[in-house]
Amino acid sequence: MLETSAIEQVAETQMTRVPAKNGMLKMGAAMFGVVNLCKPAAWTSRDAVNRVQRLVRPAKVGHAGTLDPIAEGVLVVCVGAATRLIEYVQRAPKEYRATFLLGQRSPSDDVETQAEAIDDAPQPTREELTAALPRFTGAIEQRPPAYSAVKIDGQRAYMLARRGEAVDIATRTVEVYGLQVERYDYPVLVLSIRCGGGTYVRSLGRDLAESLGTCAVMTQLVRTAVGDFRVEEAIDPRGVDAMRLRTALAPPLAAVGDLPRVELTAEQLDHVRRGGLIDEAALKGSGLASDWEVRLPSSHLVANESRRRLAGKPIELAAVDHAGNLVAILKQARPGLLRPSPNFLQMV
C-alpha cells in the first residue's frame, strides 16, 4: 500500500511554497499549481508568463490560451507539472466583453491596423442587432482574421498579411454558447460573449456587422473568465512578488474542474505510483462516467455545457487522494482498464 508519508508528499508538492530571500519562490518540493493572471492591455501573453517564470525558476511555466496585446483579462498560467494540464484549461469555455465601432473596417478587424470609416454606413437599431444574434450562436462557421496566428502552408497568417500577401483562410467550426448586446450607442457596440476555444471575437463582431450591411472593428477586448477562473479574482502581474504569487497559486485540481472526479484508495494510489492500470469496475460508482462524482460549476448553464463537452468523449477522470490532491488523469487504455496519464505520483 502507498505509505502515508508518500501521500503527504503529494500534498506538499501541490501546496508548499516558501518565499526565498532573493524574491523567488523556494519550494520544499516541486512547484505544482495554477495562477490566474489579469494580463494588462499592451502586454503580450509572453510578457505575463515571463513575470511568473522569473519568480518560480527552475519550474516550468506555460499559459493556456494566448491573448492579443490589445486584449486584457484572464490568462491562466500553469506552473511545474501542472503544465501537463494546459489542454484541459484550453477546453474550458471563455467569456469576453468586446467593444466595437460600427461603420469602420481594418485589415486586422481591430484597431491594431489602420481603420477607415465607411461613407453612409447603415446604422442598425438595437432591435436589429438583437434579432441577428441567433445566427451567430451555437455551432457556426467562422473565418479567422487575416491578422491571426493561423498557419497557411507553414506560415502564420499575420506574417503573410504584414508582407502584403493575399491571405485566404478557410472557415472553421466554432461554438458560441451565448451572445448578448451589453450596450449600444451608435457607433459603439459592446457584446458579452461566451464561447468555446478557437473562436475569434474580432470575427464575430465583423460578421455580425456584415449581416446588417455594415462593418466593424474591435477597439477593446476583456476576457472575463476561462472556466471557473474569473477576472475579479485574477492578480495583476505588474506588481506580483513571491509572497503574492504564493497566495495566488491554486491547486492543480482547479485546472480540471470539468472532469468527473474519483477518489482512489491507498491500494489504487500505490498501483498508480507504479504506473499500473486501474480496473474501471473497481472505481466508485457503476463504472459509467456519468455515475461518478462530478464537480460542476454552480451555474446550470455552465453545468449543461460541461456535460455536452464530455458527452461522447473518451473517458477521462481526475483521480485524487483522500485529501483531494490531484494525483493523475485516468484515461481509457483498453476496455475496462484506465491508464494514469499524466501521472503526478511519478513526478514527486
Three-state secondary-structure class, residue 91: helix
Q: CB under 8 Å to 314, separation ≥6 — which residues?
A: 331, 332
CB 235 within 8 A of CB 248: yes
Handedness of CA 4, 10, 16, 22 (dihedral sign): positive
- What is the rounded distance in angstroms from the CA atom of residue 75 to the CA atom of residue 64? 7
- Residue of 47, 68, 228, 279 marked active site: 68
Q: CB under 8 Å to 22, separation ≥6 — which residues?
A: none
Query: For strand 316-320 and strand 261-263, is the pairing parallel, antiparallel, or unpaired?
Result: parallel
Three-state secondary-structure class, residue 143: coil
Grid coordinates of 263: 477518489
Give whole-number Cα distances, 225 to 98, 138, 219, 285, in Å: 13, 19, 19, 32
Grid coordinates of 67: 491573448
Grid coordinates of 315: 473517458
- What is the rounded distance in angstroms from the CA atom of residue 100 to the CA atom of residue 348? 48
Number of H helices, E strands in the chain: 9, 20
Paired residues of 338 in beta bridges:
278, 332
Q: Would residue 258 show up in a list of annotated catalytic residues for this protein?
A: no
Grid coordinates of 109: 478587424
The radius of gyration computed from the CA coordinates of the chain, to the nearest angstrom, equals 23
Catalytically annotated residues: 68
